[in-house]
Structure 1
Amino acid sequence: MKVFCGRVNPTTGALDWVEEDEDYDYHQEIARSSYADMLHDKDRNEKYYQGIRAAVKRVKERGEKAIVLDIGTGTGLLSMMAVTAGADYCYAVEVFKPMSEAAVQIVKANGFAGKIKVINKHSKEVTVGPDGDMMQRANILITELFDTELIGEGALPSYEHAQHTLMQERWEAVPHRATVYAQVVESHRLWSWNKLLPLDLDSGRFQPPPEMQSCPGAPSVCDIQLSQLNPCDFKSLSHIMVTCRIDFSQQISSATVSHPMNFSCLASGTAQVVLSWWDIDMDPEGTINCTMKPGWLYPSGHTVPWRDHWMQCVYFLPEEKKVVQRGELCLTAHQDDYSMWFTLQNSGAEENASNERPVCHCGAHIIWNRPRFGELNDQSRIDKYKKALKKILTPSSVCLCVSDGSLLPLLAHSIGAAQVFTLEYSSMSQHLMEKIFQVNNLKEVIPVLQKTPDKVTADDLGDRKVSVLIGEPFFTTSLLPWHNLYFWYSRTALSGVLSKDCTVSPVSASIHILAVEFKDLWRIRSPCGSCEGFDVRIMDEMIKKSLDFRELREAEPHALWEYPCRALSDPINAMTFNFQEAVPGDVMKSEGSVNLVRSGMCHGVVLWMEYQLTEDMRVSTGLLGVSEEEGDCQWYPHSKQGVFFLSSVTELEPSSMKPCTSVNYQLTFSPKHGDIQMNFSSKF
């Protein structure tokens, strides 16, 4: 059965109706999920298996049958581990129907259908009794309900319910306990992802609105691969502290609770950020431990387990706080049923911060994501735009900016343009920009037009023609780098209000490509035919059902500063878009090959956009540099790049097989649909 889905095209801005299979979204969700990553997480799987065997042994030693409840079974892997370890019966609960169907097939394929019952329900809906889902209560509770924040997937309410209604009076839990850690740091890099910082302009100093500076920020945790953050990017103001311990073998409560931690400050500075992670003990003695600590806490030479399904947390304090060395402070972790947040005050001071979860009240944290804050605060990038605008603006320029939430209008005004307008698609973004302009006494000077480009008329511009059209370009609806070609479509729709000799900046945009070897990221798309001796090939089939015909012709967005990779080729310009002209009617095509110049495993191709601001100035949203010897890549940290994973990994090294020497590419840009079809293949 086919269904039609309405989607706003991020490149053209049009509403497209797309025909899809009715189960397409399910397969997409599975394909883009972390199931493959979890199955490849050898450290996680080994620790779970050891913990499950120990729990089954403890129950058997008490002379009891081992009845297992596995909540959030996913592939059924942990249930199969339990039966292999000697469990008498296992109830595997999975609320996501396509995943539970996969689990049924995987359990059957491995010969466990008689001992594992897959239940397609939320655990809170599971019943016990002769006519229920479970014949009896369980005495071993196995779960993998954790996310980077530990409790963000609803682990606490699920435990609370299960322990009251689905477990016997005495039970074993795997994992047995979790410990959450926190460290207070000063980090201007991280803080720039949370607040809009002041900016020096030619006409004076730009100040963000006070309500933006006092706003507690986005309520969601910032999860990143903290191992890739250079220790030079932060200053430790506290030792690593234990925030809380949760014993899963005891009665769990999901009620809101606070955990105060007193500490003596290690150095003078500005407390801005709390770094946090957790570990889990699989047994009561704590001898089987699985930790999420960042790589720089491991001993030199120690192998650091890589995982993308569990990372580390960055929490932003509600406001910066100046601290002095040896000063006595109290960091309080607040926890509700789904999230955590932190407040900081002097030791002994009365707690005056609200125990309620922080919520953005300035609007900026709703409109802009954290990388966008970082981009707006990127001084080197701002300087490039300043230089470019100084080359193209004159005292008589009528300037129009087309980008979401851009500071370019401020730069253009400070440089001396006669009139500056800016275009915002949403009313929320319009109000935010008007607040920013108002604080800087520019609300009446820089009109904010809340319109789509095709609706802008000469009346909106005071019966004047635009002589300079500018953009970053950046749009909040963009997921992949080339989605920002919406600037080109806007420029085309605005043709009626542009002067004949209108200057457009950027002048052009180009897609650049690079063949790479990933250190770890390749694992998320690597086949997972077996795991810990169990056949899970059905997962590959489900992923391929979605990926073979769609994803293998598409790129995925990834913030590559978090995922180390080596350049196996030199970067090349694969396709250029001329913003001086309107969007053409004909399809644009480009094909060629990327020669591999370094040895390694070619896992895929990275794609990004570069913008030519003027004839001699450009900005990149992707590759910033490559080390000469090893080819290690440095990526722009405030944008995601596109990653096209090759369907088969290719090798460039002397071996028994002929090595790959290049990667062929074909790019086809369809102006009508605003998308880029791509194909990459290895050449031997």
Structure 2
Amino acid sequence: MKTFCGRANPTTGAIEWEEEDEDYDYHQEIARSSYADMLHDKDRNEKYHSGIRAAVCRVKERGQRAIVLDIGTGTGLLAMMAVRAGADYCYAIEVFKPMADVARKIVDKNGFGNKIKIINKHSTEVTVGPDGDMSCRANILVTELFDTELIGEGALPSYEHAHKYLVQEECEAVPHRATVYAQLVESEHMWAWNKVLPIHIQLEGGKGERVIVPSRDMQMCAGCPCVYDIQLNQVNRNHFTTLTEAIEIFRVDFSKAVSSLPARHTVQTRATTSGLAQVALSWWDIDMDPEGNIKCTMAPYWAHPTPDNIQWRDHWMQCVYFLPKELPIHEGECLHISAMHDDYSLWYKLEHNSDECDTDVLRERPLCSCHAHLMCNRQRFGELNDQQRNEAYIKALKTIVRPDSVCVTISDGSLLSLFAQFLGAAQVYSLEISAMSRRVMEKILAANKLTGKVIVSEKRPEQLTLVDLDNKQVSVLIGEPFFTTSLLPWHNLYFWYARTYLAKLLRSEFTVLPQSAMLLAMAVEFENLWRIRAPCGVCEGFNVSLMDEMIQIWHLPWSGALDGLLPNQ
């Protein structure tokens, strides 16, 4: 069976379908899944090891055989921990076949093949019985199904099914419970990652200023439903003001039946400071034992029990949730913070009183109605709202835009065309190759009364002719450059390709902005970030390397090492 995958051509920007070999998912999914970072997470490994050992001891003290179910075993590390701790048998489930094959080899290499059975299925397809995948139900449930948002990898439906069909009632669970926390903050810096904000342009000659405003539906849009996961420990404290204490929002007890149905959790708290509530910062911790003595926390440094000794990790970070709208609050005011979730994602809402709470959880899920959030990711919003960056572009445009200038902008969803028009260009054309960016730009142009003054075209540079430009040759060619099809920084050099094709439409005397580009590289040593792609050797006394296998998985081109870095940092 052949696999075809859509990829952006870095030269033309076009989406092209390429045939992949049978190892496509093996390379792409594993290499970018942070397996290595998880295995290098010493704090995580030690807490799981202690929790599993304690759970096995509790079962043995009751005079029972310790039968372990490990859902999402990955390399088999947690399953091997269980057997080493004294478990009689372990069923280790891994749905992804290439990783299941690796897990079998690792388990055999470490001498646990007779006590660990690798099951290459989704946990919801596993059966129990004489002819099933498992001969009996397990009495210890071990999982690592969590992402930064806790439930984003399908933890709730997996636990729900396991408790119904795969484990005994009141089984031991490692982790035993998870607790989700949140804290309201005011942050213009973070709010700029959420939507297009008004941009001020100072005009030449003391002619005042013009303000670029987003369309009304962009202003009212609840935004993107997905979490923005970042390293909050890297955010400057000057970039936000806390408005409440960090408060517990809800808990999930994994040793009991778990529901994946949509739910709301509302907590009452008081504002510690007056301000504009814009963002809910959120994180979680997990207790590996019922007493809560073995805890693994994702808390940022200002809420961490040991702020001077925090485990660096990139596979679990912290969450930024944007409230549906900004709300002014006053010190001492009683607030109701609601966290709603379906089976895969969370979102937050702030109410001044409990009467405002809607009973329909899914109806309150934030969904983009303006299309801008479908075009722009968080970093892109940060770029568009970066006043220092905008002022640099405006300053450069003031030196080249003249009353007779015919300008063409090449960048998806760029506001440079508006800058040029407000600075006095005779005519401005904006090439929006993406249909989505064209719709968004037309809305912004209409909101700023520029429809017809800035002409938007979906034509590609090689298709553009003088007829499309009303037989006017281009005097100013500008770009940021930014393209929605770009996966890597150098893909934005598509601007170079576009400029080449537009040469026939340029005047004899023309200006290109930017005039040049330089691609830089630097050899660096990372204290922690290298772990994202690093192959593992011995982990907690287990050989999880199988170097020939791991090299195929992790030693791939370093194509995403800077994922997750904050915009404008």
TM-score for both structures, normalised by structure 2 = 0.95
Query: In the alignment, what sits opposite 2:212?
Result: 206
1:238 to 244, 253, 256: 244
1:271 to 273, 277, 299: 277
CA 1:250/1:542 → structure 2, altered by over 3 Å: closer, same or farther? Answer: same
Query: In the alignment, what sits opposite 2:469?
Result: 461
Q: State the 1:90 CA deviation.
A: 0.4
CA 1:114/1:254 → structure 2, altered by over 3 Å: closer, same or farther? Answer: same
What amino acid is aligned across from residue 464 of structure 1 in structure 2?
K
1:104-503 correspondence to structure 2 within 5 Å: 104-201=104-201, 202=203, 204-298=210-304, 302-352=308-358, 355-356=361-362, 357-503=365-511
CA 1:547/1:64 → structure 2, altered by over 3 Å: closer, same or farther? Answer: closer
2:561 counterpart of 1:515: no
Q: Tell me, what secondary structure is at the counterpart of 1:321?
A: strand
Structure richer in strand, relative to its length:
1
Query: In the alignment, what sits opposite 1:84?
Result: 84
Q: Tell me, what secondary structure is at the counterpart of 1:537?
A: coil
Q: State the 1:19 CA deviation.
A: 6.2
What amino acid is aligned across from residue 551 of structure 2 in structure 1?
K
Between the aligned partners of 1:401 and 1:106, the Cα distance in structure 2 is: 54
Query: In the alignment, what sits opposite 1:594?
Result: none
Q: State the 1:18 CA deviation.
A: 5.3
What amino acid is aligned across from residue 39 of structure 2 in structure 1?
L
Between the aligned partners of 2:564 and 2:264, the Cα distance in structure 1 is: 36
Between the aligned partners of 2:441 and 2:241, the Cα distance in structure 1 is: 33
C-alpha contact (below 8 Å) 2:67/2:89 kept by paired residues: yes
Q: Tell me, what secondary structure is at the counterpart of 2:266?
A: strand
Between the aligned partners of 2:554 and 2:270, the Cα distance in structure 1 is: 52
What amino acid is aligned across from residue 311 of structure 2 in structure 1?
P
Query: In the alignment, what sits opposite 1:75?
Result: 75
What amino acid is aligned across from residue 437 of structure 2 in structure 1?
S
1:614-633 correspondence to structure 2 within 5 Å: none
CA 1:16/1:331 → structure 2, altered by over 3 Å: closer, same or farther? Answer: closer
Query: In the alignment, what sits opposite 2:27?
Result: 27
C-alpha contact (below 8 Å) 2:14/2:485 kept by paired residues: no
C-alpha contact (below 8 Å) 2:534/2:554 kept by paired residues: no
Structure 1 residues 489-547: Cα deviation after superposition (integer angstroms, max 9, x where no partner): 11112222222222111100001223322121012233311110001112x43342256
1:527-566 correspondence to structure 2 within 5 Å: 527-538=535-546, 540-545=547-552, 548=555, 550-551=556-557, 555-559=559-563, 561=565
Q: State the 1:263 CA deviation.
A: 1.4
Between the aligned partners of 1:37 and 1:500, the Cα distance in structure 2 is: 54
Between the aligned partners of 2:116 and 2:564, the Cα distance in structure 1 is: 40
Structure 1 residues 448-496: Cα deviation after superposition (integer angstroms, max 9, x where no partner): 1011111111121111111110000011111221111000111112222
Q: State the 1:20 CA deviation.
A: 4.7
Between the aligned partners of 1:260 and 1:17, the Cα distance in structure 2 is: 47
Between the aligned partners of 2:299 and 2:507, the Cα distance in structure 1 is: 57
CA 1:353/1:448 → structure 2, altered by over 3 Å: closer, same or farther? Answer: farther
C-alpha contact (below 8 Å) 1:280/1:290 kept by paired residues: yes
Between the aligned partners of 2:264 and 2:564, the Cα distance in structure 1 is: 36
Between the aligned partners of 2:170 and 2:243, the Cα distance in structure 1 is: 43
C-alpha contact (below 8 Å) 1:27/1:543 kept by paired residues: no
Q: State the 1:33 CA deviation.
A: 1.9
Q: Tell me, what secondary structure is at the counterpart of 1:517?
A: coil
C-alpha contact (below 8 Å) 1:269/1:323 kept by paired residues: yes
Between the aligned partners of 2:106 and 2:468, the Cα distance in structure 1 is: 62
Q: Tell me, what secondary structure is at the counterpart of 2:499?
A: helix
Q: State the 1:14 CA deviation.
A: 4.9
Q: State the 1:301 CA deviation.
A: 6.7
Select between 430-439 and 457-466 the one with higher mean Cα deviation. Answer: 457-466
Structure 1 residues 94-113: Cα deviation after superposition (integer angstroms, max 9, x where no partner): 10110101111011001111
Structure 1 residues 197-219: Cα deviation after superposition (integer angstroms, max 9, x where no partner): 11112352211111111111111
Q: State the 1:221 CA deviation.
A: 0.5
CA 1:175/1:319 → structure 2, altered by over 3 Å: closer, same or farther? Answer: same
Q: State the 1:12 CA deviation.
A: 2.7
Query: In the alignment, what sits opposite 1:671?
Result: none
C-alpha contact (below 8 Å) 2:199/2:211 kept by paired residues: yes
Q: State the 1:178 CA deviation.
A: 0.4
Q: State the 1:407 CA deviation.
A: 0.5
Structure 1 residues 168-218: Cα deviation after superposition (integer angstroms, max 9, x where no partner): 123110000000000000011110000211111235221111111111111
Q: Tell me, what secondary structure is at the counterpart of 2:523?
A: strand
Select between 371-380 and 318-327 the one with higher mean Cα deviation. Answer: 318-327
Q: Tell me, what secondary structure is at the counterpart of 2:436?
A: helix
Structure 1 residues 306-346: Cα deviation after superposition (integer angstroms, max 9, x where no partner): 11111000000000011111112111111211111111111
Q: State the 1:561 CA deviation.
A: 4.7
CA 1:529/1:324 → structure 2, altered by over 3 Å: closer, same or farther? Answer: same
Q: State the 1:16 CA deviation.
A: 5.5
CA 1:449/1:354 → structure 2, altered by over 3 Å: closer, same or farther? Answer: farther
CA 1:183/1:301 → structure 2, altered by over 3 Å: closer, same or farther? Answer: closer
Q: State the 1:21 CA deviation.
A: 3.4
CA 1:62/1:353 → structure 2, altered by over 3 Å: closer, same or farther? Answer: closer
CA 1:476/1:529 → structure 2, altered by over 3 Å: closer, same or farther? Answer: same
Q: Tell me, what secondary structure is at the counterpart of 2:522?
A: strand
C-alpha contact (below 8 Å) 1:192/1:377 kept by paired residues: yes
Structure 1 residues 214-243: Cα deviation after superposition (integer angstroms, max 9, x where no partner): 111111100001110111111011111101
CA 1:50/1:262 → structure 2, altered by over 3 Å: closer, same or farther? Answer: same
Structure 1 residues 546-601: Cα deviation after superposition (integer angstroms, max 9, x where no partner): 565x52xx554515856xxxxxxxxxxxxxxxxxxxxxxxxxxxxxxxxxxxxxxx
Q: Tell me, what secondary structure is at the counterpart of 1:341?
A: strand
RMSD: 1.9
Between the aligned partners of 1:80 and 1:430, the Cα distance in structure 2 is: 54
2:7 counterpart of 1:7: yes
TM-score for both structures, normalised by structure 1 = 0.79
Structure 1 residues 365-423: Cα deviation after superposition (integer angstroms, max 9, x where no partner): 01000000000000011111111111111100000000010000111011100001101
Between the aligned partners of 1:449 and 1:232, the Cα distance in structure 2 is: 42
C-alpha contact (below 8 Å) 1:24/1:546 kept by paired residues: no
Query: In the alignment, what sits opposite 2:93?
Result: 93
Between the aligned partners of 1:172 and 1:300, the Cα distance in structure 2 is: 28
Q: State the 1:426 CA deviation.
A: 1.7
Structure 1 residues 14-44: Cα deviation after superposition (integer angstroms, max 9, x where no partner): 5667565321331232122211111111100
Q: Tell me, what secondary structure is at the counterpart of 2:11?
A: coil
Structure richer in helix, relative to its length:
2
C-alpha contact (below 8 Å) 1:27/1:542 kept by paired residues: no
C-alpha contact (below 8 Å) 1:11/1:482 kept by paired residues: no
CA 1:546/1:45 → structure 2, altered by over 3 Å: closer, same or farther? Answer: closer
Structure 2 unaligned regions, length at least 5? 204-208
Q: State the 1:349 CA deviation.
A: 3.7
